[in-house]
Amino acid sequence: MIGYFFLAVLVVFFAFNMGASGIAPSFASAYGGRLIKKRSALLLFAIFVILGAVTLGRNVALTLGKGLLPQEFVSFDVVLVILVAATAGLFLANLLKIPQSTSQVTVGAILGAGMYFNDLNQRTFFLKILPVWILLPLLSYLFTWLIYRKVYPPEHDNLHIYQKLFANEKKLKLLALIASCYVAFAIGTNNVGNAVGPLFGAGIMGINIGLILVSPLFGIGALILGKGTLETAGKEIIPLGLFSSTLVSFVTATLLIIASSLGIPQSLVQLNILSIFAVSCLKDGHKCTLDRQLTKKTFLIWAITPLISLVLSYSLLFMIK
């Protein structure tokens, strides 16, 4: 009984943190641009995460529940270990102040369990998940660079685009708000499955009921833990400009939904940052962007934290089994 209580607390904490981190990339530009009040942003975030989860969240939960590790190995103890390891990897990244993918630390923890049991669906990981992890962030960078290159730097050939943007500023603001809701929807299609998948794999909870129960926790987490994140990100991201931040939102959300439809647990954080890097590279140059200490630190943490969750998962199973 105590074990189930601890698992419930862990799932709630996991979902709260995902919601708190998800509010920033979704509504920071709209809030920072004073297009929406904080309470309204939190409410819309919760609504669209739930919509995304119940419509397209099933495939990711299936992959994490039985696509990587055979269900006969996914017991209560194993689920507990996976969630502890994933939470620890995410917590480490937060301590280092580097946004990290919940999806990747979750997959890392499942891989650790698969290595312990010496039974892992390598085909799913190496031929399905890993190639998409590499391809989609690159596409996020490329699509943003190609589109933003049409309007930056301002030149004689693209001044008419600027005139249209300034002449339709109200429409652009509405588009920015729609983009925020679109990102929240994309988060629901992918990230909710990180918590539901292992529970489904262990037979603790069905996918549909899991998505319905867990997705509202994202909104509650954003409400309780995400206000400061929204405040900070809203002030930091808006210097990108309304057009560029809206472009980043549409590119990253579309790619995340594609990953969800394929059943791939994908990092919104990485898609988002690579898209922002594209804007930075156009403004400051590739060398300047890539030479920044924060850029190097970000890529290093992205590589290390999934490995930490993998090792921790394997080690915990070794100790308790």
Which class for 138: exposed (0-12), middle (13-18), buried (19 or more C-beta within 10 A)?
exposed
pTM for this model (two decimals): 0.91
pLDDT at 180: 94
Give the Cα separation of 214 and 131 in Å (integer): 28
pLDDT at 236: 58
Token pair for residue 140?
Answer: 């996020």
Give the Cα separation of 314 and 309 in Å (integer): 9
3-state secondary structure of 57: coil
Give the Cα separation of 48 and 248 in Å (integer): 18
**Which residues touch 121 (CB under 8 Å, ≥6 apart)?**
67, 68, 69, 70, 114
**Which residues touch 282 (CB under 8 Å, ≥6 apart)?**
145, 148, 149, 152, 153
Which element (helix H / strand E) includes 40? helix 38-56
Domain total in the chain: 1
Phi then psi dihedrals of residue 285, to 5 deg: 95, 150
Residue 231's Cβ-side half-sphere holds a number of Cα atoms within 13 Å equal to: 6
CB atoms within 10 A of CB 10: 17
Q: 141, 290 in Cβ contact below 8 A?
A: no
pLDDT at 223: 87
Q: 239, 221 in Cβ contact below 8 A?
A: no
Task: Note down pLDDT in tens along the chain; length 321 residues.
Answer: 777 888 999 999 889 888 888 888 888 778 877 888 888 999 999 999 999 999 999 999 999 999 999 988 999 999 999 999 988 877 776 666 666 678 899 999 999 999 999 999 999 999 999 999 999 999 999 999 999 888 876 676 766 666 676 667 788 888 999 999 999 999 999 999 999 999 999 999 999 999 999 999 999 988 887 777 676 655 655 456 778 889 999 999 999 999 999 999 998 888 988 898 888 888 877 676 666 666 676 777 778 888 889 999 999 999 987
Nearest CA-CA partner of 103 in 226, 167, 195 = 195
3-state secondary structure of 270: helix
pLDDT at 253: 97
Give the range of the structural domain holding residue 244, as residue numbers without chain letter. Answer: 2-320
Alpha-helical (H) ranges within 168-241 are 169-190, 192-201, 207-225, 227-237
pLDDT at 96: 63
pLDDT at 136: 97
